[in-house]
Amino acid sequence: MKKTDTADLWWKNAVVYCLDVETFLDWNNDGVGDFAGLAQRIDYLAELGVTCLWLMPFYPTPDRDDGYDITDFYGVDSRLGHHGDLVEVLRMAKDRGMRVIADLVVNHTSDQHPWFKASRSSVTSPYRDFYVWRKDLPTNQPETVFPGQESGVWELDEKTGEYYLHRFYRHQPDLNVENPAVREEIAKIMGFWLELGLSGFRVDAVPFFIEGDPGAVAGDEYGDPHDYLKSLRAFLGRRTGDGILLGEVNLPREEQLTYFGGEAFDELTMQFDFVAMQKFYLSLAREDAAPLAEALASRPRLGQPAQWANFLRNHDELTLDQLSDAERDEVFTAFAPDEDMRVFGRGIIRRLPTMLSGDPRRIRMAYSLLFSMPGTPVLFYGEEIGMGENRDISGREAVRSPMQWTPEPNGGFSNAKPRRLTAPVVDDGYAPRFVNVAEQRHEPGSLLSFIRTLIRTYRNSSEIGWGDFEVLDQPNRAVLAHVVSASEGRMVALHNFGPDPVSLELTIPDTAAGTRLVDLLTTGEVTLSDDGAGRFELGGYGYRWLRVIEPGSRRLY
């Protein structure tokens, strides 16, 4: 494919970085991170190699679900700054070639949103149909997303004696997307932020968002919810040309393709690969690459504009809901042995380094994989320095502690008194005095320097984002050997999930005589025999990225 055809599909080889302004950097020392603080760190992110920032919700909120409960879709939470501060961040990011996307949380609002206040006030309110109301409690209730915290998805509202739908917490009533007036509002919200300079959205809870009333009886549904998603994508396309919808769809493989729009690829631009993420942890626990290899091989094939977003950790619990009970137990036993490291019976509240007991070899192998798996990598803030979680913060939010910039007690996040911080700083072996940006930034052997190298190499290897992918046959179960191929070139990546060094005989398909495989993360190379075979050494938990250099190739390595 020609460069000119593809240059505008910027997300195909982006580096996405997710952060919450509230916990990133507090510039006015009130204990809460702010846009002025983020502006101070745009150069840090550019230096890391980030090309797309994903901002978690920054809208006005009663903050009962960390900002995913919104009272004004057009506003900026005053604790974080105002629109001017946000626009300043957008300008600075743009100046450094960085895009910005933000969470679009329109499955629901906060129960404090003026629409819901009006909706619940009377059955004749003009806003009544902005939400999903039922006179009687529907039988066949779907399960709640938050077992142990919520008992169902319908809540009786005393004032009118009817039930409203809440797929998440009861203080997050679901918007009624069957209502054309709601759809118009959602389009306006998107249009507003796009006009201000966002390059798209991370779309929250997509399957719940586009579904109709789950209490509807057969024949009473509103049609195909995917038509609605298609119309949103078309709207985004008309407004921006190259904006993206990065969707949260934690569903089995069979269903994922439909959220891309089937073969038309006219719905979500990108989806997080929840399946590969979960199988990755199973592979780590078993020291067996097979579960991950199978997960990658089972991906539906995507048309050119669509893309997978790879991640090892996000801001929620590390969900293992798509593993079997026995598989989940294996991962729990390996990485979350205590009950209080788990949540909702399906997930882990720890970050990767603590799960791996800080073993630098395994941590580096994991990130080497993240950046070499076919797709677009997504980092959650603090991963680049190996931050741990703070288990004093309850449940899922344990991983949302303040970013650690310096060795000082508040980690350089804020000069406010510790008790005034929006969330407590990590206070154990992963505390700022042990894990921080300042000390890792100029240290060539640090995790931060390593991640920077991975990002730089990933950005020089467009075949990772663009290419076809194949797992190479080899006899060692602990090893994942894969090749990504695009017209620009090919790269082979080797990852050892086990502690023992291995020596592998590999055959790289379709290679000309005299082809060399040149290491990209270190110096070294292997010359293949005329039939494409070579021998590769890999340390315990080792990793190698190798560029395929055919005779006469001008590809940089």
CB atoms within 10 A of CB 126: 11
Tell which residue, 482, 426, 452, has the closest CA to residue 367. Answer: 452
CB closest to ligand GLC, residue no: 68
Is 307 strand, coil or helix?
Answer: strand
Binding-site string for ligand GLC from residue 47 to residue 76, where x marks contact by CB under 6 A and - marks none: ------------------x--x--------
Please tell me the distance from the alpha carbon of residue 62 to that of residue 69, in angstroms, as a whole number: 7
Letter for the amino acid at 137? L
CB 20 within 8 A of CB 381: yes
CB 383 within 8 A of CB 351: yes
Tokens of 184: 């118009």
Residue 137: strand pairing partners:
none
Please state at what angle helix 447-459 crosses helix 360-372, rounded to 10 degrees: 20
| 20, 316, 397, 463: residue in contact with ligand GLC (rule CB under 6 A) | 316
Nearer CB in complex with ligand GLC: 289/309:
309
Nearer CB in complex with ligand GLC: 105/447:
105
Nearer CB in complex with ligand GLC: 146/163:
146
Nearer CB in complex with ligand GLC: 38/205:
205
Nearer CB in complex with ligand GLC: 229/356:
229
Least spacing, CB of residue 68 vs ligand GLC, in Å: 3
| 168, 281, 458, 466: residue in contact with ligand GLC (rule CB under 6 A) | 168
Binding-site string for ligand GLC from residue 255 to residue 284, where x marks contact by CB under 6 A and - marks none: ------------------------------
Binding-site string for ligand GLC from residue 449 to residue 488, where x marks contact by CB under 6 A and - marks none: ----------------------------------------
Residue 204 bears catalytic tag: yes
CB 379 within 8 A of CB 367: no
| 38, 105, 437, 484: residue in contact with ligand GLC (rule CB under 6 A) | 105
| 308 forms part of the interface with ligand GLC (CB under 6 A) | no
Least spacing, CB of residue 439 vs ligand GLC, in Å: 31
Nearer CB in complex with ligand GLC: 18/448:
18
Give, rounded to a whole angstrom, the gap between the first and last alpha carbons of the chain.
21
Binding-site string for ligand GLC from residue 219 to residue 258, where x marks contact by CB under 6 A and - marks none: -----------------------------x----------
CB 280 within 8 A of CB 369: yes
Tokens of 333: 């036993």
Among candidate residues 66, 248, 327, 384, the one labeled active-site is 248
Please tell me the distance from the alpha carbon of residue 54 to that of residue 396, in angstroms, as a whole number: 19
Nearer CB in complex with ligand GLC: 119/144:
144
Number of residues that bind ligand GLC (CB under 6 A): 8
CB 154 within 8 A of CB 138: yes
Least spacing, CB of residue 203 vs ligand GLC, in Å: 10
Question: Hey, which residues between 201 and 220 contact ligand GLC (CB under 6 A)?
Answer: 204-205
Q: Match 């949302």 to its residue by tokens.
A: 400
Least spacing, CB of residue 248 vs ligand GLC, in Å: 6
SS (H, E, C) 393-410: CCHHHHHCCCCCCCCCCC
Among candidate residues 66, 204, 389, 470, the one labeled active-site is 204
Q: Are strands 543-549 and 516-519 parallel, antiparallel or unpaired?
A: antiparallel
Is 164 strand, coil or helix?
Answer: strand
CB 56 within 8 A of CB 100: no
289-326 exposure pattern, b = at least 16 Cβ within 10 A, e = fewer: bbbbbebbeebeebeebbbbbbbbbbbbbbbbebbeee
Active site amino acids: 204, 248
What is the binding site for ligand GLC (CB under 6 A)?
A: 65, 68, 105, 168, 204-205, 248, 316
